Structure 1
Amino acid sequence: MTDTLTDVLVLRKDTHGVPTTEYADALRARLPENDVTLARTPGEERELIEDAEVVAGMVLDDSLVDYAAEMKVFACAYAGVGHLPLNKLREKGVTVTNASGVHGPNMGEHVLGNILTFARRFNRGFRQQQRREWRHYQTHELQGSTVTIVGLGPIGQAAAERLDAFGVETVGVRYTPEKGGPTDEVIGFDGDAFDDALARSDYVVLACPLTDETEGLIGRDELMTLPPHAVLVNVARGKVVDTDALVSALRSNTIRGAALDVTDPEPLPEDHPLWNLGNVQITPHNAGHTPEYYERLADIVAENVRRIDETGEYEGLRNQVQP
């Protein structure tokens, strides 16, 4: 064990409107002997980061890194780290971890809710309720459907596990299909396998990170490949889908519908046509919200801090993404 316990600094930006005081409290509960400090102002961030070895937060401005003389680990509170000054952190020898796994349960439930909404047409029922209209309408059955899940990280895996009870056939898409996964079939992005999966999918769930390879992954050709009754569910990033091609497909009934938690652009402008399409379900990038967010996040960070205190090493940490 190291001679002194590692100090932890929590930066001030919150997420989903939940104050970071709750995050700091969750870390203190798990690390009662460590010094866990919350920076409440920009000035406090600049001052306190000078001596902090482990810094936890949603974002880390490039300018703030200049003040971080002792920082050894930045524990990002998001799964994605593309918004961070990664090159600068690498140059300073800072290990970066992320929040992978924190969103699995809630986003898996969000995906399932979206699929059930389109299967049982709850959106149609809600509209009729608003009009106090008692009129039967036809629905669909989820059992026997084929669901393709693009991305088999914690979110895609959670969605697949929750779908397992509904008697559906699942196809997982990942860069390394040899790793397998909880879906009935696992394929890669290369060759005809991806197009073949789209052609037989009733639902396509996008749960992949935004990369050079996935940007624009679902465009005009892919939407035309889907069956006309297919529904697209996007909890990944808006840019994974070509928005203009999606609007065109939805207007022409090339596909049955779309459930979008993310859009491009985002936030979606008030005059955007997606708002007024009856076959679209929109949520404001809300799938990631869960009352357990900080608790799960604190589990990851506290485990890493204890490991650092025991070994004095800043490598091999849970959820390490850099270096």
Structure 2
Amino acid sequence: MTESPDIVVLRRAAHGMSTTMLAEAIRERLPDYEVVRPGTPAGEREAAAEAPVIVGHGIDEELLEAAEELELFACFSAGVGHLPQEELAARGVAVTNASGVHGPNIAEQVIGNVLAFVRNLHVGWERQRNHEWRHYQGFPRELGDSTVTVVGLGPIGQAIVERLDAFGPHLIGVRYTPGKGGPTDEVLGFDGAEFHDALARTDYLVLACPLTETTRGLVGRAEFETLPPHAVLVNVGRGPIVDTEALTDAIKDNAIRGAALDVTDPEPLPSDHDLWRMGNVHITPHNSGYTPQYYPRVADILARNLGRVEETGSYDDLENQVV
């Protein structure tokens, strides 16, 4: 390429987040590019008319029609189901996503929750609230002597496994294509018998998979019956992967030791739901995906991809390319 193209950063992200920081992060990494963040829809259409690169959460029909020179739409969310993929493909527009940007922070949250249960910190927190200095034990085993099953070995699952590995537990990975292998000691598929065999050996069950026909209701009454009574569930995937009623009953009946839920079904969890009142259930409001490094990581992906375009002159075979 003889000159660097304009990059148009759209005004709003999902949930109304501003993209001002994203524009600044891109400018830092690509100082030779003109990074434009228009303040109005009309300004976006005007800027997009000659820009080969647009960065945003979504692109509507009117903006796509205006973007006559568009070569790359860099979506800054991991999911792209909301995009007009057929129209983009028909135009020959490459599309990338932000897969992987959530890995480190979600992995940190999983590790924190697992360690809280390894050391029964929730018991200590409760006694602190009661101003009660009384020793407690009841630690089933150290993390290094435990078995952790991670369902989903995408970028988030791999980041979780990488950090867990330092503690030395036996690691079981569950994925759609076990033949691909993975970074765990064992890699299994979703076959019922095989999955239940893993559950029977599991101390910590971590759900880091997307919601699909296969994973919807993956963990229900039968699975809670298979898990050992000292097992702990950690869900950072999607709420409907777990049967909420079955989970609630399993906690009440001491069929498992506890749960850490960043996602629930329904979501938000009703304020009068029994899970709120259980001391061995840790609930966070679907915020494990937040990180101050989100936009810098998105900008890193874009910078690497545009570096590749400069080298090859092509928008093919880019990192995280989905179209």
TM-score, L = length of structure 2: 0.91
Q: Partner residue of 1:44?
A: 43
Counterpart CA distance in 2 for 1:179 and 1:286 is 30
Q: Any idea what the Cα deviations from partners look like across 1:228-269, whole Å, max 9, x if unmatched? A: 211111111122222222222222222221111112222333
**Structure 1 residue runs without a partner (length 5+):** none
Shift of 1:10: 1.4
Q: Partner residue of 1:13?
A: 12
Taking a change above 3 Å as real, the CA distance of residues 232 and 98 of structure 1, as seen in their structure-2 partners, is: same
Shift of 1:170: 0.5
Taking a change above 3 Å as real, the CA distance of residues 128 and 190 of structure 1, as seen in their structure-2 partners, is: same
C-alpha contact 1:231 1:258 (8 A) present in aligned 2: yes
Q: Partner residue of 1:147?
A: 148
Aligned partner of residue 163 in structure 2, secondary structure: helix
Alignment of 1:18-167 (within 5 A): 19-61=18-60, 64-140=63-139, 141-167=142-168
Aligned partner of residue 145 in structure 2, secondary structure: coil
Taking a change above 3 Å as real, the CA distance of residues 306 and 248 of structure 1, as seen in their structure-2 partners, is: same
Counterpart CA distance in 1 for 2:97 and 2:194 is 31
Range 258-267 or range 23-32, more displaced: 258-267
Paired residues, number? 321
Aligned partner of residue 143 in structure 1, secondary structure: helix
Tell me if 1:281 matches 2:282: yes
Q: Partner residue of 2:195?
A: 194
Counterpart CA distance in 2 for 1:255 and 1:23 is 43
C-alpha contact 1:96 1:321 (8 A) present in aligned 2: yes
Taking a change above 3 Å as real, the CA distance of residues 237 and 82 of structure 1, as seen in their structure-2 partners, is: farther
Shift of 1:56: 1.5
C-alpha contact 1:80 1:209 (8 A) present in aligned 2: no
Q: Partner residue of 1:314?
A: 315
Taking a change above 3 Å as real, the CA distance of residues 267 and 186 of structure 1, as seen in their structure-2 partners, is: same
Aligned partner of residue 165 in structure 2, secondary structure: helix
Shift of 1:62: 5.6
Aligned partner of residue 162 in structure 1, secondary structure: helix
Alignment of 1:236-255 (within 5 A): 236-255=237-256
Shift of 1:149: 0.4
Q: Partner residue of 2:295?
A: 294
Aligned partner of residue 147 in structure 1, secondary structure: strand
Q: Any idea what the Cα deviations from partners look like across 1:62-91, whole Å, max 9, x if unmatched? A: 664444433322212222223333344334
Q: Partner residue of 2:222?
A: 221
Shift of 1:61: 4.4
Counterpart CA distance in 2 for 1:207 and 1:201 is 15
Shift of 1:314: 1.8
**Structure 2 residue runs without a partner (length 5+):** none
Taking a change above 3 Å as real, the CA distance of residues 87 and 190 of structure 1, as seen in their structure-2 partners, is: farther
C-alpha contact 1:6 1:305 (8 A) present in aligned 2: no
Aligned partner of residue 143 in structure 2, secondary structure: coil
Aligned partner of residue 320 in structure 1, secondary structure: coil
C-alpha contact 1:57 1:77 (8 A) present in aligned 2: yes
C-alpha contact 1:56 1:76 (8 A) present in aligned 2: yes
Taking a change above 3 Å as real, the CA distance of residues 62 and 196 of structure 1, as seen in their structure-2 partners, is: farther
Taking a change above 3 Å as real, the CA distance of residues 282 and 181 of structure 1, as seen in their structure-2 partners, is: same
Counterpart CA distance in 2 for 1:176 and 1:220 is 25
Runs of 4 or more, structure 1, over 6 Å off, are: 15-18
Counterpart CA distance in 2 for 1:228 and 1:218 is 15
Q: Partner residue of 1:183?
A: 184
Q: State the one-letter code of the partner of 1:280.
A: V
Taking a change above 3 Å as real, the CA distance of residues 83 and 284 of structure 1, as seen in their structure-2 partners, is: farther
Taking a change above 3 Å as real, the CA distance of residues 177 and 271 of structure 1, as seen in their structure-2 partners, is: same
Q: State the one-letter code of the partner of 2:159.
A: A
Shift of 1:184: 1.0
Counterpart CA distance in 2 for 1:65 and 1:231 is 47
Shift of 1:94: 2.7
Shift of 1:317: 0.4
TM-score, L = length of structure 1: 0.91
Q: Partner residue of 1:168?
A: 169
Shift of 1:219: 2.0
Calculate the aligned-residue CA RMSD, in Å: 2.2
C-alpha contact 1:55 1:74 (8 A) present in aligned 2: yes
Shift of 1:144: 0.9
Aligned partner of residue 192 in structure 1, secondary structure: helix
Q: Any idea what the Cα deviations from partners look like across 1:133-189, whole Å, max 9, x if unmatched? A: 112222423231110001111211111121122221100111122222221111111
